[in-house]
């Protein structure tokens, strides 16, 4: 593998992880399509959907660690949400990542496309004015949070994502969690989810280790920078950026599937 391949994979990992830290997602919503489409566009060998999902799973694990570390003293991490949603999404991601080996390449892409489409629709649903709620007065429906996290875990485990791009709209729209708390807390839940997804992908032989290692280095550098930037950007701007990214990815995936 030549230097140009290393640079391309590093840049994909860096861009995805920067956005990951800034928006509270694992970054797979960006890295999955970039890994799938950019290398062959540049004349490099194409990854299969299973390889992309495996690389994404490992990379998200490290990107989310770096992001959570950057938010550790922010006061935005909701421990109760992390416990309820984290436990459920971990179980779901183990189930999904193990079961993904039985799906075809197109099947993995279809699952990803469905998840991205649902997330895109949710991001454009009108939201309540929740950002004025004091952080110590935030409440949520615990059974609903746990059930939705388990479902997200299954789907995200299949595609090697940690589900952050679905967790964020669920927390904003369904659970009415303030934006900055959503971003920080979803990174922590994403980290827990990525444990299950990574174990499943590694044990079923779906990880290409060299590009995964490049992505990990990029993640550790970029995610904290993104988290720092996210703390300075207006919350409405953050929501708009995420909505556009998710919608664009959903459209591209479905155009290719159909």
| Alpha carbon distance 160, 96 (integer Å) | 9
Confidence at residue 150, expressed as pLDDT on a 0 to 100 scale: 92
Q: Output the CA–CA distances (angstroms, integers) from residue 218 to 45, 66, 153, 157, in the order listed.
A: 21, 11, 25, 22
Confidence at residue 24, expressed as pLDDT on a 0 to 100 scale: 67
Residue whose entry in the numeric block shows the structure tokens 């791009």: 165
Domain that holds residue 222: 3-257
Confidence at residue 128, expressed as pLDDT on a 0 to 100 scale: 67
Query: In the structure encoding, which two tokens stand for residue 10, read together?
Result: 């590093």
Confidence at residue 161, expressed as pLDDT on a 0 to 100 scale: 62
Please tell me the total count of domains within the chain.
1
Q: How many residues are there in the chain?
A: 258
| Alpha carbon distance 216, 219 (integer Å) | 5
| Alpha carbon distance 186, 238 (integer Å) | 14
Main-chain dihedrals φ then ψ at residue 175, nearest 5 degrees: -95, -10
Query: Tens digit of pLDDT per residue, the chain (258 long)?
Result: 588 899 999 998 898 888 777 776 666 677 777 888 888 888 888 888 788 878 887 877 887 787 788 777 777 888 899 999 988 988 888 888 788 778 887 887 788 788 778 877 877 776 666 766 777 778 889 999 999 999 888 887 777 665 677 888 888 888 888 888 888 888 888 888 778 778 877 888 878 888 889 988 988 888 888 888 877 777 678 777 777 877 877 787 788 777
| Alpha carbon distance 108, 9 (integer Å) | 21
Q: Is 139 left (phi over 0), alpha (psi -120 to 50) or beta?
A: beta
Q: What's the pTM?
A: 0.73
Cβ burial 18-34 (10 Å sphere, 16+ → b, else e): bbbbbbbbbbbbbbbbb
């Amino acid at each position: 593998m030549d230097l140009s391949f290393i640079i391309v994979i590093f840049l994909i990992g860096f861009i995805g992880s920067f956005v990951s830290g800034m928006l509270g997602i694992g970054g797979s919503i960006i890295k999955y399509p970039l890994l799938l489409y950019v290398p062959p566009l540049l004349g490099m060998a194409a990854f299969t959907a299973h390889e992309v999902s495996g690389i994404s799973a490992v990379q998200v694990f490290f990107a989310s660690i770096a992001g959570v570390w950057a938010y550790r003293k922010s006061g935005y991490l909701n421990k109760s949400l992390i416990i309820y949603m984290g436990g459920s999404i971990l179980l779901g991601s183990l189930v999904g990542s193990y079961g993904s080996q039985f799906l075809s390449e197109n099947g993995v892409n279809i699952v990803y496309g469905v998840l991205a489409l649902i997330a895109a629709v949710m991001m454009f649903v009108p939201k309540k004015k929740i950002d004025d709620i004091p952080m110590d007065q935030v409440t949520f429906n615990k059974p609903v949070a746990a059930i939705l996290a388990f479902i997200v875990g299954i789907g995200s485990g299949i595609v090697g994502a940690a589900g952050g791009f679905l967790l964020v709209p669920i927390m904003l729209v369904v659970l009415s969690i303030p934006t900055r708390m959503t971003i920080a807390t979803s990174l922590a839940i994403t980290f827990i989810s990525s444990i299950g997804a990574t174990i499943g992908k590694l044990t079923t032989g779906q990880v290409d280790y060299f590009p995964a290692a490049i992505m990990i280095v990029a993640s550790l550098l970029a995610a904290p920078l993104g988290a720092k930037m996210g703390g300075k950007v207006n919350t409405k701007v953050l929501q708009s950026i995420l909505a556009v990214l998710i919608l664009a990815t959903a459209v591209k995936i479905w155009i290719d599937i159909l």
